Amino acid sequence: MTAGDPPLLAVEQVTKRFRGLTAVAEVSFTVPGGAIVALVGPNGAGKTTLFNMISGVFRPTVGAIRLDGRDLVGLDPARVCRLGVGRTFQLVRPFPALTVLDNVLIGGLVHGDGVAAARARAWHELDRLGLAGLAARLAASLTLPERKLLELARALATGPRLLLLDEVLAGLRPTEVDQLVAVLRGLNQALGITILMVEHVMRAVMALSDRVVVLDHGVKIADGAPATVVADPRVIESYLGVEEP
Amino acid sequence: MPFEVILNIAASGGLTGLVYGLAALGLSVIFGVSRVVNFAHGEVMVAGMFGAVLLADGLGADPLVAVPIVGLALFGTGWLMHRGLVRELIGAPEHRQFLALVGVAMVVMNGLLMAFGPDARGVRVPYAFDAYEIGPLLLDKVRVIAGGAAILVAAGLFAFFRLTALGTAVRACADNQLGARVVGLPVERLYALTFGLGCAVAGIAGCLMTLIVDVHPQLAPDYTLAGFTIVIIGGLGSATGALAGGVLIGLAEALAGIVLMPSMKSMVSFAVLILVLVVRPHGLFGRPAR
Amino acid sequence: MMAAPDPARRGRLLFGGFALVLAVWPLGIDDAYLVSVAITMLWFAAVGQAWNLMMGFAGQLSLGHTLYVGLGAYTAAALYVHFGIGPWIGVWAAVAVAAAAGAVIGGLGFRFGVRGVYFALLTIAFAEFTRIGFDHLDWLGGSAGFFLPLDHDGALPWADLRGPPLLFYYLLLAYTLGLFLLCRAVIARPLGYRWRAVREDQEAAAASGINVFRTKLAAAVMSAALTAPAGVIQAFYYNNLFPDQAFAMHRSIEMILAPIVGGIGTLFGPILGAVVLTPLGEALTLGLEALAIDLPGLKQTVYGVLLVVIVLRLPSGVWPPLARRLGLGDAATRTPDR
């Protein structure tokens, strides 16, 4: 990336307070277009809160969030999605009583070109993620890994430029992690989708990400290349809890 | 209209409101603990009213004497209702709970209709026309007794939840169901107990209500709605809110009866309900839930 | 046994046959009682379908749907009695008034995040508020009732709906079938998919780019608007209107029984539910009459028990398992092949 390139996503001095409790404090970082950036930190560090602010669920108390230079603050989740931000949820939330195909089709409706086009898009994403064989099944009947893929497919069908993945690898077996890591790398390289992921599986973080941003108690404590960040004493401290009783 | 008259109407409205508030308290307790919305609450209350009428007709019992008997009977009914039906609905989608209890309400109300017929029946106590004179106020004795008893029962319920081990266990269950299970509380039985208590309180409020009005089965849906209105104004799950909401609705309806036509008074409570739902969905006294 | 390969085609054939039977039987059997029962049946099928659009597809529980019946009935009746405007024009005014009421309730409720049971209570509150209001509206007869003149000076009985019951039967048949086809068309469109997404999970729907408020509002307005003609038909069939009946809460509950029994969120469920429930109710009434028992609450008690049993034991209703047994899908739940 050259210095003059505006980042795809810029989080600028964002703070979120809930009734006096500060969940995220003056956090700034950028995600360059085409990159994979991981957001890590211990539980309660404010990662999901940050995701919810980027995707429009919460409004930051202070600060700006820009997508391609455009401020997202104050837009509702639907608008943010239409501007090209797709997301998955920490606790997977497919539409349980709908079929796999319809789940993804609904994501594809964002483009506003009708059901048939959305259905074609849905098949395309199901093929890409290897879910086509499950198309007629109800989402509620899927296994956890399948549901995670389904949610990813639904997000992809919205045609995102930026994909927010909230612990998409959590709860998966090592082989399943490897498969999904390969899928994500493929999406990033083949389609140029920028990814910001909250992740605890450090093996995957190291393998996938170009940059790692570390949050602890709502504050950014590190931001850099994966190898540099994991060697940072402050990061080690926050993860191992040296100061905790 | 002279000020004293308005004051008198307001006072008797407030006293009646205490009884409404007690019934709503039962609804609130059930919701607060098990998150079940008892759509049959007014029906249970009217069942309590018929209980008081039966005891008065059969044994010449005063509604106050009927209170413990009806309370106990409806506690048992509520307990059984929970075991047989409500238990299966805990954690089910909201609309399923609601619709099942709508069904229960239909059964109870029409059961009462079949048992007692559509006509109004009342309890005649010897002190029906007595009144207390306090300054400019002339208060019906029946209303004072009903309102006072409602406060006593509410205080008893409050003491149960605050002071007894069992009550504390129920509150723990309400705060954190999983935590209560983990520490080994019999959550299912506590839910049944709560549902029983809620029904008992509704039945007791029904007994007290017979001091003030005659009973017929068609009152039930109105009482259910009044209960919801009060509880939503007071905040679902808030005990003091239920009593305060009851008094507020009692006052508002009584005063609306003066300003508008008496038959228009419940319009006021529906208007208040709409307003509260829209502006403060967790009620005037409640905290946001979940 | 003939195996029809395509369940969708088979479904269309069966539905066509069902519609044909409904259209033809009165020609052979001229029985005033049966016609009146069939009118009740179709009326509940139609309002159930309109309610199901909001609850079954968009997941928004309304327990005050009789409000739209009452508003539709009074609007058309008022235009006819006070201004001499016939029902064929009046029905459009009725639809507009009901749609406006649906927009107000939905708009207020959804804008302020009133959800689930609270929304249901809001709908009840509006219906009850309106009922008491109409009790005091002398221009429309108040609580003493509002009556439509029975005599008719026009040339054609159907122009002002001053005809025999059979006229109303066919009117309701057209309305019921039309609603079915309309709902079938809508749920296959983007709006229908958005409804189901919002029904399943509002947050996930929003994250998929769906404007949840507008989606729910569309359901509330359409459902209200499509309920209103049932009110118009009711007004001109019975020729009298009372607030205590038109806006009563127990009516709202009666209206939702058929779709619950038939299957919430299915297309054929509301019709099937009415086909099951109405004759059942009539049989009960007749049975009691035959036994000379006068128990006014029994029918409602049975309905109540049925409601509890269905919600507990068969929450998806009668139609989905039946459809499976018949080798059919319901268009609301069927997945088309690639």
Same domain? For A126 and A240 the reply is: no
Same domain? For A104 and A211 the reply is: no
Beta bridge partners of C146: C241
- pLDDT band at residue B44, thresholds of 50, 70 and 90? very high
- pLDDT band at residue B286, thresholds of 50, 70 and 90? low
Q: Please say if the pLDDT value at position A167 is more than 50.
A: yes
Look at residue B237 and tell me if it is in a domain.
yes
Judging contact as 3 or more Cβ pairs under 8 Å, the answer for A and B is no
Comparison of pLDDT for C292 and A152, the residue scoring more: A152
pLDDT tens sequence across B92-148: 888 888 899 999 999 999 999 999 988 999 888 888 888 888 877 888 889 999 999
Give the pLDDT confidence score for residue B289 in this predicted structure.
42
pLDDT tens sequence across A168-226: 998 889 898 998 999 999 999 999 999 999 988 888 888 899 999 999 888 998 899 98
Domain count, chain B: 1
Q: What is the 3-state secondary structure (H, E, C) of chain C?
A: CCCCCCHHHHHHHHHHHHHHHHHHHHHHCCCHHHHHHHHHHHHHHHHHHHHHHHHHHCCCCCCCCHHHHHHHHHHHHHHHHHHCCCHHHHHHHHHHHHHHHHHHHHHHHHHCCCCHHHHHHHHHHHHHHHHHHHHCCHHHCHHHCEECCCCCCCCCCCCCCCCCHHHHHHHHHHHHHHHHHHHHHHHCCHHHHHHHHHHHCHHHHHHCCCCHHHHHHHHHHHHHHHHHHHHHHHHHHHCEECHHHHCCHHHHHHHHHHHHHHCCCCCCHHHHHHHHHHHHHHHHHHHHHHCCCCCCCHHHHHHHHHHHHHHHHCCCCCHHHHHHHCCCCCCCCCCCCC
- DSSP strand pairing (A211-216 vs A219-224): antiparallel
Look at residue B284 and tell me if it is in a domain.
no
Mean per-residue pLDDT over chain B, rounded: 87
Mean per-residue pLDDT over chain C, rounded: 90
- Give the Cα separation of B93 and C223 in Å (integer): 22
Same domain? For A182 and A65 the reply is: yes
Same domain? For A72 and A113 the reply is: no
Determine contact: B262 vs chain C, CB below 8 A: no
Chain C residue with minimal CA distance to B270? C125
Same domain? For A144 and A216 the reply is: no
Edge-to-edge strands, sheet with A21-31: A21-31, A9-18, A62-67, A70-71
Domain that holds residue A117: 92-159
Contact C26, C166 (CB under 8 A): yes
Say which amino acid occupies A155. A
Question: What sign results for the dihedral spanned by CA atoms A201, A206, A210, A213?
Answer: positive
Give the pLDDT confidence score for residue A76 in this predicted structure.
93
Considering only CB atoms, C129 lies closest to which of B106, B111, B270, namely B270
Give the pLDDT confidence score for residue B126 in this predicted structure.
85
C-alpha distances in Å from residue A166, one per residue of A60, B256, C41, C73: 19, 54, 51, 52
Look at residue B191 and tell me if it is in a domain.
yes
Chain position carrying tokens 């007994």: B207
Q: Please say if the pLDDT value at position A88 is more than 50.
A: yes
Domain that holds residue C254: 30-144+156-202+209-325
Determine contact: B100 vs chain C, CB below 8 A: yes
Here the ipTM equals 0.90
Give the pLDDT confidence score for residue A20 in this predicted structure.
79
- Give the Cα separation of C271 and C276 in Å (integer): 9
Q: Please say if the pLDDT value at position C328 is more than 60.
A: yes
What are chain A's partners, defined as 3 or more CB pairs within 8 angstroms? C
pLDDT tens sequence across A21-47: 889 999 999 999 999 999 998 888 889
Same domain? For A14 and A43 the reply is: yes
- DSSP strand pairing (C240-241 vs C146-147): antiparallel
Domain count, chain C: 1
CATH number, domain with residue C166: 1.10.3470
- DSSP strand pairing (C240-241 vs A194-198): unpaired
- Per CB-CB distance under 8 Å, the chain B contacts of C315 are 96
Determine contact: C8 vs chain A, CB below 8 A: no
Same domain? For A165 and A154 the reply is: no
Same domain? For A44 and A146 the reply is: no
- pLDDT band at residue B20, thresholds of 50, 70 and 90? very high
Domain count, chain A: 2
Same domain? For A73 and A7 the reply is: yes
Same domain? For A41 and A77 the reply is: yes
Tokens of C318: 């009668």
The distance in angstroms from the start CA to the end CA of chain C is 27
pLDDT tens sequence across C84-116: 898 999 999 999 999 999 999 999 999 888 888
Give the pLDDT confidence score for residue B12 in this predicted structure.
87
Look at residue B268 and tell me if it is in a domain.
yes
CB atoms within 10 A of CB B108: 22
Helices C87-111, C66-83: inter-axial angle, 10-degree rounding: 140
Q: Is the pTM of this model over 0.80?
A: yes
CATH number, domain with residue A5: 3.40.50.300
pLDDT tens sequence across B161-175: 888 888 888 888 888
- pLDDT band at residue A1, thresholds of 50, 70 and 90? very low
CATH number, domain with residue B115: 1.10.3470
B259, with CB counted inside 10 A (0-12, 13-18, 19+), is exposed
Look at residue B132 and tell me if it is in a domain.
yes
What are chain C's partners, defined as 3 or more CB pairs within 8 angstroms? A, B
Same domain? For A75 and A176 the reply is: yes
- Identify the top-confidence range among A37-46, B131-140, B270-279, C200-209: C200-209
Contact B79, B192 (CB under 8 A): yes
For chains A and C, CB pairs below 8 A equal 83
Phi, psi of B214 (to 5 degrees): -80, 160
End-of-domain residue from the set A159, A177, A197:
A159
Strand ranges, E, within chain B: 131-134, 137-140
Domain that holds residue B273: 3-279
Contact C125 B274 (CB under 8 A): yes
Contact A215, A41 (CB under 8 A): yes
Nearest alpha carbon to residue C90 among C301, C275, C236: C236
- Give the Cα separation of C102 and C100 in Å (integer): 5
Determine contact: C208 vs chain A, CB below 8 A: yes
Query: Which of C128, C143, C247 best tests the B interface by mutation, with the highest count of B CBs <10 A?
Result: C128
Q: Please say if the pLDDT value at position A105 is more than 90.
A: yes
Which helix (DSSP H) or strand (DSSP E) does residue A49 occupy?
helix A47-54
Look at residue C243 and tell me if it is in a domain.
yes
Query: Which of A52, A100, A106 best tests the C interface by mutation, with the highest count of C CBs <10 A?
Result: A106
How far is C-alpha B257 from the geometric centre of its chain's CA atoms? 22
